[in-house]
Chain A
Amino acid sequence: MIFSKYLFFILSFIAIYAALKVLISKKPMHSVLYLTLTFFAIGGHYILLNAQFLAVVHIIVYAGAIMVLFIYTVMLLNLNIQGEFPKSRLAKFASAIAGGILLFTLIAVFRSYDLKVLADPSLNQIGLVKNLGKILFQDYYLPFELSSILFLAAMVGAVMLGKKDIY
């Protein structure tokens, strides 16, 4: 496609702009919606990489389910009052260090990649559902099943924590 190059830049711009807006927005509701927009832009990137299955799963799970739960929480907690949320100095310090460590790790990871070689993403067939399914259920069968058990345990744990009178 002739447009994929321009689409990449448009999507990247939207993703970065929306991600910045998540931090800048005063209203929590707006932050949540900008986060949704970021997820959609990243979903678009997946499609550009010829990974349609991942794109659709990304939209279902993040934009569809998790963001709706976020919106719920924001609505229920009635956080839509404008103004600053004061935090203690310790919290600010800790979050700065945590964020810094993440940035450091990401830089360390991407330093080893040679980012100058352009690859044609449309030749990459790994994101198609057939190939992905074969890899997940043949090569990575055990990790895949183990991670699903982890999810189940997390879900049961959440129900346990939510239900106080279970004992």
Chain B
Amino acid sequence: MGFNIYDFTGMTHNMHVSFMEHMSPLMTTIVEWTIIGVCYLLFIALFGLFLVYAERKVCAMFQQRMGPMRVGYWGLLQTIADFIKLLMKELITPKGVDKFLYNLAPFIIMIATFMAMAVLPFAKGLQTLDFDIGVFYVTAVSSIGVIGILIAGWSSNNKYSLIGAMRSGAQILSYELSVSLSLVTMIILAGSMQLSVIVEGQRDAWFIFKGHVPALIAFVIFLIAGTAETNRGPFDLAEAESELTAGFHTEYSGIKFAFFFLAEYINMFIVAAMAVTVFLGGWMPLHFGSLESFNHVMDFIPPLVWFFLKVGGVIFLIMWFKWTFPRLRVDQILTLEWKYLLPINLVNILLMSLVVLTKFHL
């Protein structure tokens, strides 16, 4: 047991006990909820800023440019400057819009993002909610975001917004199937939907190694479908600039636009975090069966570092194919999902069941 020092269960428990000593149970609950909320807010804001910067740098790298260089060292403060600019901008509500829904939509999307964050296990003991249906919960919550997008597109009273929302809705609705089915494949291997149990099950071998061929297929499908679900390129035809200006958020300005923007990046983080949790061992260090000394060295790296290293890797992968592949057409997107990914996925589930039944895994 190499990483007991990195266990957060004791820390959170001690905090809870000391709160209970000094305050009433009601106050304790309120204080704990506030602390968790503030942590998530800070994390989302800071990580969102970092992701925007990272995307611009990665994009620049693929296009052989320098990217933002002027504000701060290597342009590090560029996204903060952009954020301040967005904060200062006027919030315009165009004339023909449905005022209530127009103002509600960005918040619905942010709420969906926040809710999905709640179950992600960052490290041992660093998980807000540990449902026994964690994986399923994330799929359910991500479907709330679609409603936000559709509301935004409809209430803007704008052709571009409406078409963008329609495309995005059709895309998310169909790719949700692939996301959940590829997760189901891994649930068969893990034997549980609880995220902490899934992570614990990968102590000896990450599921992508343990489930070999079917797990690898599921991982690739999950990455494709997850990218499509977050409306990112090459599946970003919902906000195809050349045809639709900006898709469903054309009419939004200032901080409301920033909400959509932030939600998109945090959704990318959630997809990456789910991929890491279910396929790449979550916060578990890399272990090879019999290499004792190697395993011990790996144990010394804290789980939080492992988690964010892996998430960073997956996010880089997602950015990589955003800036490599050209955008797909509507019919190509639907063909890819319904004629290729879905049948492959269904066969893959059978294959995985066979692998689990015959115990043909590591």
- Asked if A52 is an interface residue, CB under 8 A from chain B, the answer is yes
Closest to A64 in B: B143
CA distance A60 to B169 in the complex (A): 14
Closest to A40 in B: B144
CA distance A57 to B139 in the complex (A): 10
Within the complex, the shortest CB–CB distance from B171 to chain A, in Å, comes to 12
Within the complex, the shortest CB–CB distance from B159 to chain A, in Å, comes to 12
Interface positions of A from 46 to 60, Cβ below 8 Å from B:
52-53, 56-57, 59-60
CA distance A49 to B141 in the complex (A): 19
Whether A71 pairs with B132 at a CB distance below 8 angstroms is no
The contact of A56 among B29, B137, B146, B173, by CB within 8 Å, is: B137
- Asked if A126 is an interface residue, CB under 8 A from chain B, the answer is no
| CB 8 Å contact bits of A50-90 with B (1 = contact, 0 = none) | 00110011011001110110011001000010000000000
Whether A129 pairs with B143 at a CB distance below 8 angstroms is no
- Asked if A31 is an interface residue, CB under 8 A from chain B, the answer is no
Within the complex, the shortest CB–CB distance from B30 to chain A, in Å, comes to 11
Residues of A with C-beta under 8 A to B144: 59, 63-64
Residues of A with C-beta under 8 A to B25: 2
Whether B150 pairs with A71 at a CB distance below 8 angstroms is yes
Interface of B, helix, strand, loop or mixed by DSSP: helix
Residues of A with C-beta under 8 A to B131: 52
The contact of A52 among B133, B141, B147, by CB within 8 Å, is: B133
CA distance A64 to B146 in the complex (A): 8
Whether A59 pairs with B132 at a CB distance below 8 angstroms is no
Q: How large is the interface on A (under 10, 10 to 19, 20 to 34, 35 or more residues)?
A: 20 to 34
Whether A65 pairs with B173 at a CB distance below 8 angstroms is yes
- Asked if A33 is an interface residue, CB under 8 A from chain B, the answer is yes
Residues of A with C-beta under 8 A to B141: 59
- The CB with the most chain A CB atoms within 10 A, among B98, B150, B193, is that of B150
Whether B154 pairs with A59 at a CB distance below 8 angstroms is no
Residues of A with C-beta under 8 A to B143: 59-60, 63-65, 68
Interface residues of B (CB under 8 A from A): 25-26, 29, 98, 101, 131-133, 136-137, 139-141, 143-144, 146-147, 150-151, 154, 162, 166, 169, 173, 176, 193
